[in-house]
Amino acid sequence: MARIPYLTEADMTDSNREVLSRRINLYWAAGHAEGGAKNFSNMGLWLRFDSKFDKRLREFAILTVGYVTRAPYEWAQHVRLGYDFGVTDHDLERLIAELEGTDTDFTAVEKAIIHGAAEMTRTTRMSDGNWDTLAAEFNTELMVELMMAISFYVGLVRFLNTLQIDLEEDVIPYLQKYPLPE
């Protein structure tokens, strides 16, 4: 159960109406900080829809952050969203295996994204090896976008886990299909 109450329809104001138009618990909690919620939402939406970085690969990074931090809300939401961006069940099975220490048939670049995101989540920085693999593949703009995505979601999981944001009913099956380890 969330540590703070979710806003209600009666709590909508002109400044939080746009954020609250998305009927997800994340926004109905974040909406308590009207200006912050709007800017937080804008960054997330930019990363999802307007960033030039490959969306499937970006989802690998986000899913890694959710898995490593054992953040059920983030993980389940992005298992669902990942499908929209080309992530397959086979990808999810391999991602979990890779993060659990089993070598998979992901490409070197895919592995560098996954392990680099895990490093940034656990230690706050990416190793030279993963960075160098990615920098050989992506230009500076795309590298910055990837680092922004990982950093944004590392912050978001701390918000979600600390406030104990509840999963929406329609997302629970994704967590049941791919449960997080204890």
Between the alpha carbon of residue 51 and those of residues 6, 31, 93, 137, the distances in Å are 30, 24, 26, 17
Fold (topology level) of 53-177: AhpD-like (1.20.1290)
In the predicted model, what is the mean pLDDT of residues 5-32?
Answer: 88
Instruction: Return the exposure string of 72-109: e unless at least 16 CB atoms fall within 10 Å of the residue's CB, then b.
Output: bbbbbbbbbbbeebebeeebbebbbebbeeeebebeeb
pLDDT at site 155: 97
In the predicted model, what is the mean pLDDT of residues 73-98?
Answer: 98
User: In the chain, what percentage of residues exceed pLDDT 90?
Assistant: 85
Q: Could you read off the pLDDT of 101-157 as tens digits, one per residue? A: 999 999 999 999 999 999 999 999 999 999 999 999 999 999 999 999 999 999 999
Q: What secondary structure letter does DSSP report for 10? A: G
Between the alpha carbon of residue 78 and those of residues 82, 105, 136, the distances in Å are 5, 22, 27
pLDDT at site 38: 87
Q: Where are the alpha helices (DSSP H) in 46-88?
A: 55-68, 72-84
The CB density around residue 161, as the number of other CB atoms within 10 Å, is: 15
Report CA 61 to chain centroid distance, whole Å: 7
Q: Do residues 120 and 157 touch, judged by C-beta distance below 8 A? A: no
Domain residue ranges in the chain? 10-50, 53-177
Size (the chain), residues: 182
Mean pLDDT estimate for the chain:
95
pTM > 0.85: yes or no: yes
Q: Could you read off the pLDDT of 22-48 as tens digits, one per residue? A: 889 999 999 999 888 888 899 999 999
